[in-house]
Amino acid sequence: SSRCGISMKGIDIVVHGSIGHMSAFMAQSGNMVVLGDAGDALGDSLYEARLFVRGKVKSLGADCIEKEMRAEHLELLEDLLRRGEADAKAKPEEFRRYGSARQLYNFNIDNADAY
C-alpha cells in the first residue's frame, strides 16, 4: 500500500506483505514492521518513528538512514512480531532498521537540497 503509516503518531504497524512509495512520510513516533519490500522514499522527512524492513528497500526518503540493529531493537521487534501475529513468519535477525538522520529538524540553508 502506498503511503502506509503517513504521519504516524505512536502507532505500531505490522505489514505482512510489502509497502509502496512514500510510506512512513513524516512519521513522528511508533514502529513500522514490514515483512516484505518497501517502495521509493521510505521514511521521507521522518522524525522519531522506527522502521524495520525484512525485504528490499527501493530508496530512502530525505533524512532517512539505515541504523544499527542493537539488542534492544531485536527485543522490541520480537515483541512487535508476536503482537502482530507474524512471529511464525519472520525472525528479528532478518530485518534492517531505519530511522531519522536528524538533519531536517531545524532549517539550515546548507541542507536546503535535502528538502
pLDDT band at 98 (very low <50, low <70, confident <90, very high): very high
Give the percent of the chain with pLDDT over 70: 92
Domain housing 36: 9-102
- pLDDT tens digit sequence for 12-37: 999 999 999 999 999 999 999 999 99
- 1 versus 65: the higher-pLDDT residue is 65
Q: Is residue 59 part of a domain?
A: yes
Residue 65 has pLDDT above 70, yes or no: yes
Q: Is residue 60 part of a domain?
A: yes
Q: Is residue 114 part of a domain?
A: no
Q: Is residue 4 part of a domain?
A: no
Contact, 36 vs 17, CB < 8 A? yes
Mean pLDDT, range 47-63, rounded to an integer: 96
Q: Is 13 helix (H, G, I), strand (E, B) or coil?
A: strand
Domain count, the chain: 1
Contact, 2 vs 39, CB < 8 A? yes
Q: Is residue 64 part of a domain?
A: yes
- pLDDT tens digit sequence for 72-90: 999 999 999 999 999 999 9
Q: Which cell numbers in the block locate residue 80?
A: 512487535
Q: Is residue 1 part of a domain?
A: no
Contact, 34 vs 15, CB < 8 A? yes
The confidence score (pLDDT) of residue 9 equals 96
* Length of the chain in terms of residues written: 115
Q: Is residue 2 part of a domain?
A: no
The confidence score (pLDDT) of residue 115 equals 57
